[in-house]
Amino acid sequence: MAEGENQKRTCRVCGSSYEYPGHKSLVTRFHCERCVAIPEDIQRVFELMRRKVDRLTKDVERLTQKDA
């Protein structure tokens, strides 16, 4: 990646997409500007729940495609 080039990333907590690194922004490699302010222990819980929801959503999509 070239110097100064931004990457499009997805927040591990809320799933929103954001530019990293943000100029004069609080964003991190893993969290958007809103979620970086959430305490770490709560972030961890949200990350686990989001992964579970994503996994279950994929399972439901896969199962509904088999039935169709």
Q: What are the tens digits of pLDDT across the range 4-23?
A: 678 899 999 999 999 988 77
- Cα(27)–Cα(18) distance, integer angstroms: 8
Task: Determine the pLDDT at residue 25.
Answer: 83
Per the prediction, the chain carries an average pLDDT of 89
H/E/C letters for each residue in the chain? CCCCCCEEEECCCCCCEEEECCCCCCCCCCCCCCHHHCCHHHHHHHHHHHHHHHHHHHHHHHHHHHHC
* pTM more than 0.85: no
Mean pLDDT, range 47-68, rounded to an integer: 93
Question: For the CA atoms of the chain, what is the radius of gyration?
Answer: 16
Closest residue by Cα to residue 27 from 48, 1, 8? 8
